[in-house]
Amino acid sequence: MALVRMIEVAEAPPEVRAVYDDIMKTRGTDWVNNFWKVLANDPATLRRLWENVKQVMAPGALDPLVKEMIYVAVSATNGCEYCSHSHTASARAKGMNEAMFAELMAVVGLANETNRLANGYRIEVDAAFLPKV
Amino acid sequence: MALVRMIEVAEAPPEVRAVYDDIMKTRGTDWVNNFWKVLANDPATLRRLWENVKQVMAPGALDPLVKEMIYVAVSATNGCEYCSHSHTASARAKGMNEAMFAELMAVVGLANETNRLANGYRIEVDAAFLPKV
Amino acid sequence: MALVRMIEVAEAPPEVRAVYDDIMKTRGTDWVNNFWKVLANDPATLRRLWENVKQVMAPGALDPLVKEMIYVAVSATNGCEYCSHSHTASARAKGMNEAMFAELMAVVGLANETNRLANGYRIEVDAAFLPKV
Amino acid sequence: MALVRMIEVAEAPPEVRAVYDDIMKTRGTDWVNNFWKVLANDPATLRRLWENVKQVMAPGALDPLVKEMIYVAVSATNGCEYCSHSHTASARAKGMNEAMFAELMAVVGLANETNRLANGYRIEVDAAFLPKV
Amino acid sequence: MALVRMIEVAEAPPEVRAVYDDIMKTRGTDWVNNFWKVLANDPATLRRLWENVKQVMAPGALDPLVKEMIYVAVSATNGCEYCSHSHTASARAKGMNEAMFAELMAVVGLANETNRLANGYRIEVDAAFLPKV
Amino acid sequence: MALVRMIEVAEAPPEVRAVYDDIMKTRGTDWVNNFWKVLANDPATLRRLWENVKQVMAPGALDPLVKEMIYVAVSATNGCEYCSHSHTASARAKGMNEAMFAELMAVVGLANETNRLANGYRIEVDAAFLPKV
């Protein structure tokens, strides 16, 4: 149960409804997921986050599916249940099949293992890895 | 400074040298990075981790560059300095340009923001996101 | 379900009951929350933690509500469900309204985003930020 | 050393310079800190983050110093070196004295301790803490 | 609910069944826990992880119960619910009593507290602690 | 460089000196490490933390070396540099040899890997692992 009540589409005040409409139009869906219905208690944050998501997740130098899988990788690392479910669903909708999901999880798991070995042993960065900026 | 001394290539005992040789051959390089020279104090772990990395990072359902960028995403999320430097270097070697790196970081940053909002508000997972397994 | 059984007030042995009584008296309540009933399996830890909480959360240089909101910020960042619920409830009892909670969450979310950008890009600390100690 | 080169004020292209000017004007300073000079490699992200920071950290339901201390709390929890230095400096500039900083750190430390006890024991949330939404 | 369906023992294809049989034989049990039934969707990862667990958790320089308690310490720190339950159950099966579990949790909690104080204050490592490697 | 200046032994006011003396006496050393010299800016926190460390790390149901290694496991998982150095040094002083350290790191690494797989796949806890409390 969320710590604040959710603002449903039917009861949304105009400034919230405008964001909801843009979410549904952008995604081609007729519903809004709980994340936004919780943020809607604070319309300025709702709008800010939605504008951020639109900008960051828009087509760019990376493939949209790759971006969604990076989102899943971060969510698994942070142990965020909501985010793991919602972004895995999004990645599947964008074409991630089971073999790709399994491989994504395998990389995430291994990276978390080697991250802790590097941190635990306090390994110094090789000069060859330092950027020549 | 690492918490244990590093085993250099020239002084490596045979079982360590065999792994070092495989690392250099697989990567087409003539040097071994610090991560492995630290693990080499424990040859069984050195071999285990290298076999894991080879299996997980081998070509599969995902593009090798995508896998490397997922590694960078996890490393940035965990705040692992060594891993951020080494895997960003690897991703660049595999073709990641500056626009791709910037977009990768933007997704990682945003995902960490929304992860905390989902966790902090304790948002319930939408039924539509639950898998039908 | 907790990994150990909870010690209810009615069955608490004297050394546990003494802490329970101090918790209820300090807070002006007639019940003890699950956190303490779990710790009560180890009376020395129960007492230690309660004494710590009393010392740290007592009035001091910071406003009690500010301290409670800092607790919520850490709990959201760590993804701790129990802590998010219990400390948000405490913060509300101390006067946090919905606008304050929304703003708190907004800061927590943004801080987690910029933390990962700073870590992921390995940005060097500006000399101007270093303390002159 | 950052993973990308920093864009100095003197060499900034117009769209970057516009953000730099707004940063300096908003803060009443004549320099820009490294965080923004790194992000400036990606002008769209530079602008997005700066607009986010301005909106989130603007005066609102919470005191600006409280918001800055919440930023420090998250940064300490995440172990972000850059963020700990920069936001502690900001909090000091906004009036945080040494007693307040010590108390902030004490709450952060204790919250991280009790977060792990709640998570490690898998303590169930008390019904009394659940919101009545 | 897991994000992928679980492969039950009765329906497991030969390469999965071989790992399941080794898990049950090694542990002297007649069932397989959910972790492996989820990984079984990706037989190569299933085998890789099981071989890793067998190698790392085998008798060595540390007592098997100590290793299991270290696993619990990491799981509590990461807030992993599945891992806290499964490895606490394993540790109990290997002889951890309630007093040992309570003491383990006490160390984990305190370590998380002092970790954040060290990180938040950015304390420099004492020369005496640096290894002479 | 720490965010606050360190209080050296020679300049410590009486209430700080009393804690320093107890630290040196308890450990049988003639110096105090940076962690305490930073906390000494806040004498109440200095005393509270030192009393906590003494209570939690005292001989009990677990071997002192086991407790120190659990501390190292948490520190590696959190990526805390100061803590990794100081507690690894302590563990070595209490008898941890290189084989034990290597095995400790191997468990920590693997636990972080499997934690992320459990969290990423959102694996449900097996009924057999739930406590019968």
Report residue C5 as tokens.
Answer: 């059984």
| pLDDT score of E132 | 73
Considering the domain boundaries, does residue F131 fall inside one?
A: no
Question: CB–CB of E111/F56 below 8 Å?
Answer: no
Average pLDDT on C93-99 reads 97
State pLDDT tens for residues F76-124: 999 999 999 999 999 999 999 999 999 999 999 999 999 999 999 999 9
| pLDDT score of D85 | 97
Average pLDDT on C76-101 reads 97
| pLDDT score of B133 | 56
* Inter-chain residue contact D1 with A131, CB threshold 8 Å: yes
- Shared domain for A27 and A77, answered yes or no, is no
Residues in Cβ contact with A45 at an 8 Å cutoff, skipping those fewer than 6 apart: A39, C102, C105, C106
Determine the residue among D75, D87, D123 to mutate to test chain C binding: the one whose Cβ has the most chain C Cβ atoms within 10 Å: D123
Q: What is the DSSP letter of E125?
A: P
Question: CB–CB of F16/F43 below 8 Å?
Answer: yes
Question: CB–CB of A75/A38 below 8 Å?
Answer: no
pLDDT confidence bin for A82, thresholds 50/70/90: very high
| pLDDT score of F133 | 55
**Distance between CA E64 and CA E94 in Å, rounded?**
8
The answer on pLDDT for E30 being more than 60 is yes
Average pLDDT on D83-101 reads 97
pLDDT confidence bin for C1, thresholds 50/70/90: confident
| pLDDT score of D17 | 98
Angle between helices B43-57 and B64-78 (to 10 degrees): 120
The answer on pLDDT for E17 being more than 60 is yes
- Where among F10, F34, F58 does a domain terminate? F58
CA distances from B19 to A127, B40, E82, F106 (A): 22, 9, 34, 18
**Distance between CA A50 and CA A42 in Å, rounded?**
12
Q: pLDDT over 90 for what percent of chain F? A: 95
- Shared domain for B35 and B19, answered yes or no, is yes
Query: What burial letters (b/e) apply to A74-105, b meaning 16+ CB within 10 Å?
Result: bbbbbbbbbbbbbbbbbbbeeebeeebbbbbb
The mean of the pLDDT values for chain C is 96
The answer on pLDDT for E94 being more than 90 is yes
Q: pLDDT over 70 for what percent of chain E? A: 99
**Distance between CA F41 and CA E58 in Å, rounded?**
46
- Shared domain for D53 and D77, answered yes or no, is no
Work out the number of other CB atoms within 10 angstroms of the CB of residue A107.
23
pLDDT confidence bin for D132, thresholds 50/70/90: confident
Considering the domain boundaries, does residue D103 fall inside one?
A: yes
Task: Give the dihedral of Cα atoms A115, A120, A122, A127; nearest 10 deg.
Answer: -20
* Inter-chain residue contact B4 with E130, CB threshold 8 Å: no
How close is the nearest chain B Cα to the Cα of F128, in Å? 22
The mean of the pLDDT values for chain A is 96
Any chains having at least 3 CB pairs less than 8 A from chain D are A, B, C, E, F
How far from chain centre, in Å, is Cα B41? 20
* Inter-chain residue contact D4 with A55, CB threshold 8 Å: no
- Shared domain for E108 and E73, answered yes or no, is yes
- Where among A43, A58, A73 does a domain terminate? A58
Angle between helices B64-78 and C98-121 (to 10 degrees): 120
Average pLDDT on A27-56 reads 97
Considering the domain boundaries, does residue D2 fall inside one?
A: no
CB-CB neighbors (< 8 A) of F42 in chain D: 99, 102-103, 105-106
- Shared domain for C52 and C37, answered yes or no, is yes
- Shared domain for D45 and D72, answered yes or no, is no
Range of the domain at A49: 7-58
CB-closest option in C5, C55, C133 to F48: C55
Average pLDDT on D114-124 reads 97
The mean of the pLDDT values for chain E is 96
Whichever domain contains B90, its CATH number is 1.20.1290.10
pLDDT confidence bin for B132, thresholds 50/70/90: confident
| pLDDT score of C96 | 98
Question: Considering its fold, how many domains does chain F have in total?
Answer: 2
Question: CB–CB of D132/C49 below 8 Å?
Answer: no
Q: pLDDT over 70 for what percent of chain B? A: 99
CB-CB neighbors (< 8 A) of F111 in chain B: none
Average pLDDT on E77-84 reads 97
* Inter-chain residue contact C114 with D57, CB threshold 8 Å: no
Question: CB–CB of A85/B130 below 8 Å?
Answer: yes
ipTM value for the complex: 0.95
CB-CB neighbors (< 8 A) of E80 in chain A: 79
- Shared domain for B17 and B32, answered yes or no, is yes
